[in-house]
Amino acid sequence: MDYIHAGYPRHLIRHQFYISEEQFDAAMAYIDANWDEVEAEYQTVLKDAAAIRQYWEERNRERFARIAKMPPKPGQEETRAKLKAWKARIESRT
């Protein structure tokens, strides 16, 4: 459903799952025929995933903060600098 909501063409969606045209057509026919129910289930899954993500983020917040304060291991300075730059680039996009 993520791909459908993102507007992916059907042929690209099919290739993401490595399924035959017949399998894909059957799945899409089911989705099209039962759109309201499928969409409701999709929204439930998204809501549950968000709740689970929030639970684990809260549970691990202190641990991640402690890890972030730890000094880098010798020889990892360059790698950490690259990761920090990559993270800043990702965060600037959102």
The pLDDT score that the predictor gives to residue 93 is 85
pLDDT digit string (tens) for the chain, length 94 residues: 999 999 999 999 999 999 999 999 999 999 999 999 999 999 999 999 999 999 999 999 999 999 989 887 888 888 888 999 999 999 998 7
CA dihedral 63, 69, 70, 75 (to 10 degrees): 130
13 with 24: CB under 8 angstroms? yes
